[in-house]
Amino acid sequence: MDAVIKVGGSLAEMPDALKALCTAIAKLATKYKILIVPGGGKFADVVREYDRCFKLPPRIAHRLAIMGMDQYGIILSELIPDACLTEKLENVNLFFKRRKIPVFLPTKLMSQEETLETSWDVTSDSIAAFIAEKIRAKKVVLVTDVDGIFAADPKQNGSAPLLMETTVQWLLLQQKRTSVDKFLPKFLLHHPVPCYVVNGKYPERIGAVLSGQRTVCTLLKL
């Protein structure tokens, strides 16, 4: 398996960019074995709103948010040419043989797993890394709407530099969510897999990451 690619829900706010990204993913899948993991996007935001209103038990909010990933995944399967849905990781190689691009719906798997904590610190970022480790993917690529991880919050400091590389240890010291979820560095510390944060508005950067070329993104490593 070459890579697990998480397509962030934030990109759905830019329909043209998301459509272009999905077309590019289909082209990349002719050269690489890739598994798509959906983000949560607005589906997860609805759960956050209900959680604020009703103070849901963490396990319930977590489960509902993952179900939101399934919903976004169904949309992605319609936007990515030659994509198909699956709830079983053991089916992935079968789809590759059929020249299909698997979009993984994580609800069923994650309901049976206890590796990740059930909190808002865990989002599709950590779930994508967990799946990448589980299927022994060479890389996990977190596709979002920003260029990567910055030295400071770029919304508060417009001159904050992009970190082309950083470590999970540095990220742990931040003790906050950056452009990836708060739990991700904890997971990668014990389950190392090269993790890239890439801006999906520039699909050519994903191709560069997959081919091992240098590009604008953040590599998160030990």
**Structural domain boundaries in the chain:** 3-221
User: CATH number of the domain at 3-221, out of 3.40.50.2000, 3.40.1160.10, 2.40.30.10, 2.60.40.1180?
Assistant: 3.40.1160.10
Q: Give the pLDDT mean for 170-185.
A: 90
Contact 63, 111 (CB under 8 A): yes
Residue 181, C-beta contacts closer than 8 angstroms, at least 6 positions apart = 121, 122, 123, 124, 125, 126
User: By three-state DSSP, how is residue 166 classified?
Assistant: strand
Q: For residues 101 and 120, what is the distance between their CA atoms, to the nearest angstrom?
A: 29
Residue type, 180: V
pLDDT per residue over 13-71, tens digit each? Answer: 999 999 999 999 999 999 999 999 999 999 999 999 999 999 999 999 999 999 999 99
Local confidence band at 177 (pLDDT 50, 70, 90 cut-offs): confident
- Per-residue model confidence (pLDDT) at position 14: 97
101 burial level (CB within 10 Å; 0-12, 13-18, 19+): buried
Contact 209, 217 (CB under 8 A): yes
With a cut of 80, say whether residue 155 has pLDDT above it. Answer: no
- Per-residue model confidence (pLDDT) at position 19: 98
Pairing of strands 165-167, 218-221: parallel
Note if the pTM is more than 0.95: yes
Percent of residues, the chain, with pLDDT higher than 70: 100
